[in-house]
Amino acid sequence: MPRNTPQLLPPFSRPASRVAIRRASSYQSDLSALLYETLHVFDLPVRAKTVLLKANLVGLDPRCLTNTHPAVIGAAREAFLRLGAAEVLIGDGPSMDRDSQAVVESMRLREYAGPLSRTFVDLNVDDVERVVLKTHASRLKELYLPRTVRGVDFLVSMPKLKTHHWAGVTLSLKNMFGIVPGGCYGWPKNILHWAGIDNSILDLNAAARPDFAIVDGIIGMEGNGPIQGESRPCGVLILGDDPVAVDSTCARVMGLLPERIKHIARAATLLGHMEPDKISQLGESIESTRTPFALLKEFSVLREA
Amino acid sequence: MTAQSSSDSSQNALFIERVCAPYLTGAQNEDGGWGFQRGSQSRVEPTAWALLALLESASDDAADDATARGLQCLLKAQLTDGSWPAAAGQDQGCWVTSLACLALLSQGQFRESLARGICWLTDERPGEAGRWFRLLRRLRGVRHTVAQNDFYYGWSWTSGTASWVEPTALALIAMRNSPPELLPAQVQSRIQLAEAMLYDRMSPGGGWNCGNPLVYGVPGEPQVCQTAWALLALRDHSERPEVEKSLAWLEANWDRIESPGTLALACIALDVLGRNHADIRNSLCNFYEKNEIMWNVPAVSAAVLAMSGRHEWATRSNPRKKT
């Protein structure tokens, strides 16, 4: 039974979105308490529901530099359980390494999230169902998507704060590439690149729009991301009920102009808010947490003046 | 294929018989196919893997029956153009066609299906082989983002997209192991281009990742899985320094592997290329004891193929002319 996907609405008919920026100096902080306290404010409809934390697990990551840090994933799982969720699953379909078990073992996920046999869903090899795409921004007409993603009650996109050498940044919207199953489309999910990365991001998020986003910005990645960039300590978790608003806020924290990031600007026409006056900011201010990220010269146009 | 001691061989046979074979027969679906996990949708990839494993190790009536039902399911999934789709309902074939062909190779009675699969593979060209792509590339000039020669191409994951290491290696193995009389005339030129593509995509220090050796001038890390597949595809080139270098990389890195599926593939590749590491098989058994719950059908099947030590599915025949 497909979940009730949030409606696609143009920005003028959407209520304001809420985004919180919380400081977290390290992965050793009490992230569970921090997330619980913040999520509580959002009053999310997760009681007795199944939640899927869609992490960003790109590939093997023994130094925890490229993937969403397991401490953040484990803390989010704990926080949603404390909020009354019946089940909190963790899932992704790594794009660069087809052996998802090797990926989660390399980053020691079980040490933070407990036994994974009933919790972790390898979205690359999950059962699939045909989904006709609604938006036709790219030339893709349909995709086979994981049943777990379609079936959960509450979908949370959990990326790491990173630059990306094709898309400019990879945040909660781009993170949804991971739901496209490698078992159908390969490693990497090259069909999305050929269909146009920016437009595919819009199509994919329209087909499976996250209900919430939690961005691991404690240590991000700058330069030649999403794999070969440099670590960039930023000391924040950024979370909110609108992936476009969350990504726009992340971009501003990174010293970038979201309106110049194609996929964010396009998503703002249908999936959420990009303009600051339609985003209700909680916690820290953007100014107080701004940490300019280094960019490849191809993307210097994204930088704020 | 490998120099296993008799006590190692009997231990491996026991592991297959007591652990792997029951898992595979128990995971078979009503329709004869296998899903990635027990109880999940039948798909071509896990079905082909399970068949390869059972065909190489089948030792009882239950396994024979499972194999027969699995082969029928695989044949039923073949599309009219000779290819196989990744999931039921898809009307376009893709990279799993190579795996399906490998599973049919040992069964003489399915030559017609096999021939149609190989024909489709021979005709299937990746996106960068298209005229428009080449014209656009010429007009735009050379791209500096990734360092690769797009004039060499192999096979893509899905139709109309770019060549990558793993689907290219799988297609090469399927073609090389097919009976020569089933291969279309133009197959040799495809094989040569694909082999050239694999060498072009090798990481600077040996080994392969999915197919990006350098991005913005930064070398990509090789990965065990793709390196194992590429080495299996290039096994007749053991004299080439690239193969030697990549084998050395794999030998130096297999003990860092933390999952059974990849470890089994590494074991197969090292075996087939004549590098005997008896301790790999012990590590594989240990993985099972530590963490059996995360095993899935392809991983268990790969473990069977590694443990059997025969590797006929990967080394059956060689119609390829040396280039």
For B41-90, how does the pLDDT look when each residue is reduced to its tens digit (9 = 90+)?
999 999 999 999 999 886 778 888 999 999 999 999 999 999 999 999 99
Residue of A nearest to B257 (CA): A102
B32: which residues sit within 8 A by CB, 6+ positions away?
B42, B69, B70, B71, B72, B73
CB of B260 less than 8 A from some CB of A: yes
DSSP single-letter state for residue B62:
H
ipTM over 0.90: yes
Alpha helices in chain B (DSSP H): 6-15, 21-27, 44-57, 61-77, 96-104, 111-123, 131-140, 165-177, 187-200, 224-233, 241-253, 260-272, 278-291, 297-308, 312-315
Select from A143, A190, A230 the residue whose CB has the most chain B CBs within 10 Å, as the one to mutate to test that interface: A190
Q: Does B267 lie at the interface with A, CB-CB under 8 angstroms?
A: no
Q: Determine the residue of chain A that is closest to B95 in CA distance.
A: A186
Among A60, A117, A183, the residue with its CB nearest the CB of B45 is A183
> Measured between CB atoms, which of A101, A144, A191 is closest to B87?
A144
Q: Using CB atoms, which residue from B161, B225, B296 is nearest to A125? A: B296
State the Cα–Cα distance between residues B188 and B253, nearest whole angstrom: 33
Distance CA A98, CA B19 (A): 24
DSSP state of B52: H
Per-residue pLDDT tens, chain A, 305 aa: give them: 567 666 788 888 889 999 999 999 999 999 999 999 999 999 999 999 999 999 999 999 999 999 999 999 999 999 999 999 999 999 999 998 899 999 999 999 999 999 988 899 999 999 999 999 989 999 999 999 999 999 999 999 999 999 999 999 999 999 999 999 999 999 999 999 999 999 999 999 999 999 999 999 999 999 999 999 999 999 999 999 999 999 999 999 999 999 999 999 999 999 999 999 999 999 999 999 999 999 999 999 999 77
B315 lies within 8 A of chain A by CB: no
User: What pLDDT does B289 receive?
Assistant: 73
B93 and chain A in contact, CB less than 8 A? no
B164 touches chain A (CB under 8 A): yes
Residue whose entry in the numeric block shows the structure tokens 């090797």: A102
Over range B161-168, report the average pLDDT.
96
Question: Which among A60, A106, A121, A197 is the top mutation candidate for probing chain B, defined by the most B β-carbons within 10 Å of its own β-carbon?
Answer: A60
Task: Note whether B158 contacts A185, CB cutoff 8 Å.
Answer: yes
